[in-house]
Amino acid sequence: MAVTSGLWTVDKKNTMKLNFKKSGTGPPLVILHGLFGSADNWFSIARELENEYTLYLVDQRNHGDSPHSDEWNYKVMVEDLRELLDEEGLEKVFLMGHSMGGKTVMNFATQYPERVEKLIVADIAPRYYPVHHQTILEGLNSLDLKTIQSRKEADDQLAKYISILGIRQFLLKSLTRDSNGFAWKINLPVITQNIENVGEELAEGSVYPGPTLFLAGANSTYIQQKDLPDILEHFPNYELEFVQNAGHWLHAEQPHAVVQEMRRFLG
């Protein structure tokens, strides 16, 4: 069943299928969010492109409105994406992912290169990243959702761990209300237990030969000079562009610059 809101069609299929939001007309462009995020993070980008592409904004498993699962790694997330493309009858797509989503699309493109027309990877490299979300996870797990009465109260408690308001606002987008009060959309216990999987490197020898754009935040450290040989090994047909005045969340900090780079590369 699909529920249509405005120009967006929200997928509400079987419980084990990914939730996604679809808009626009033209060649299919599939976008995957990063850790702790959701499809909603890419609405402003999609609005700029929906006259040129059919946008599929996807909630990865254990995020957004997609199903929760005890199994959470890039192997299953790649197969989630393949199943979505199969169900939608999409033989070949433009594919983009940010951070964790970037790792998912890199893995997908190297395993199913025939399904990817062009690839965009936002602010992540193929290498291994050590766990660096401990403070965030500690803060999220510290919230007693049974006693919290308001979002303001949740923000005040989270501020003890995370001082930057913008990061707290981003994280609290995954806090929702149900019949029992507040609840997480993200599968916080499974993410906490399996957080090391997020930093996993691409398999040795995996290659996507198609056109690939790496978009990096100029103020971010996620893509560094030392990563270029590794990127070249896996993506020999790559280009790298830095988005000025942007950190890791480049699509939120400089959306117009990101759209401009996407148009240039995909067009």
19-71 tens-digit pLDDT: 999 999 999 999 999 999 999 999 999 999 999 999 999 999 999 999 999 99
Residue 99, class by beta-carbon neighbours within 10 Å (0-12 exposed, 13-18 middle, 19+ buried)?
Answer: buried
Buried/exposed code over 32-71 (b: 16+ C-beta within 10 A; e: otherwise): bbbbbbbbebbeebbbbbbebbbbbbbbbbbbbbbebeee
| pLDDT over threshold 70, residue 9 | no
Q: Catalytic residue numbers?
A: 99, 248
Report the alpha-carbon distance of residue 43 to residue 48 in Å, rounded: 9
Looking at domain 2-128+200-266, which CATH architecture does it have? Answer: 3-Layer(aba) Sandwich (3.40)
3-state secondary structure of 18: coil
State the DSSP code for 248.
S
Q: What pLDDT, on the 0 to 100 scale, is given for residue 234?
A: 98
| pLDDT over threshold 80, residue 138 | yes
Residues 6+ apart with CB under 8 A from 173: 37, 38, 40, 41
H/E stretch holding 265: helix 255-266
* Overall average pLDDT of the 91-120 stretch: 98
Do 168 and 162 meet the contact criterion of CB atoms below 8 Å apart?
Answer: yes
CA distances for 173 relative to 28, 166, 176, 217, angstroms: 27, 11, 8, 22
| pLDDT over threshold 60, residue 6 | no
Region(s) of the chain under CATH 3.40.50.1820: 2-128+200-266
Q: What pLDDT, on the 0 to 100 scale, is given for residue 229?
A: 97
Residues in the chain: 267
Tens digit of pLDDT for each residue in 222-249?
A: 999 999 999 999 999 999 999 999 999 9
| pLDDT over threshold 50, residue 13 | no
